[in-house]
Amino acid sequence: MRLQDEPDVPAQINILPMIDVIFAILTFFIMSTLFLTRSEGLPVSLPKAATAQKQQVPTKITISVDEQGTVSLNRQPVLVDSVAGQLRNLIGANQEALVIINADEKVGHGKVVAIMDQVRQVEGAKLAIATQKP
């Protein structure tokens, strides 16, 4: 027995919510892959070294020196004379930190040596110089 008051409605599939979900997932994956590539320092042209080795230390602090000689500590501009004090604040309770110097290959030797001297004044700071393989 069939009810006469219900009209026959053809079955429909509404795909708009499915498209919304797919675009939301796609957006999530695009955004998450953008955060996977993390750059700790400013973009500089690193010198080449055939004997370069990768360092493994839990805390990394990056000092960048660009082509104009501007010094940045973890992407924040800083004066060379205040590097040691700011490093002490960053290292704090940690006993050990790797301080990586990203110096452009065109920067004068004296500037890099002055930064290295500031880093050596901080107890627990291990010094490394970033290079790239030839």
Tell me, what CATH number does 71's domain have? 3.30.420.270
Token reading at 117: 């001297």
- The structural domain count of the chain equals 1
Residues ≥6 apart with Cβ < 8 Å to 51: none
pLDDT tens for 21-71 read 999 999 999 888 877 765 556 666 666 777 766 666 567 888 888 888 888
Least confident of 4-8, 40-44, 89-93: 40-44
| Residue 29 within a domain | no
Instruction: Please answer whether residues 131 and 46 qualify as being in contact, where contact means their C-beta atoms are separated by less than 8 angstroms.
Output: yes
User: Average pLDDT of 89-100?
Assistant: 79
| Residue 73 within a domain | yes
Q: Which domain holds residue 90?
A: 60-129
Percentage above 90 pLDDT, the chain: 7
pLDDT, mean over the chain: 80
| Residue 17 within a domain | no
d(CA 8, CA 42): 67
| Residue 43 within a domain | no
pTM for the model stands at 0.59
pLDDT over 80 at 133, yes or no: no
| Residue 48 within a domain | no
Residue tagged 């393989």 (tokens): 133
Q: What is the DSSP string of 8-64?
A: --------HHHHHHHHHHHHHHHHHHHHHS---S----PPB-TT------S-EEEEE
The candidate with the shortest Cα–Cα distance to 102, out of 88, 89, 116, is 116
**pLDDT, position 34:** 78
**pLDDT, position 68:** 87
| Residue 69 within a domain | yes
| Residue 72 within a domain | yes
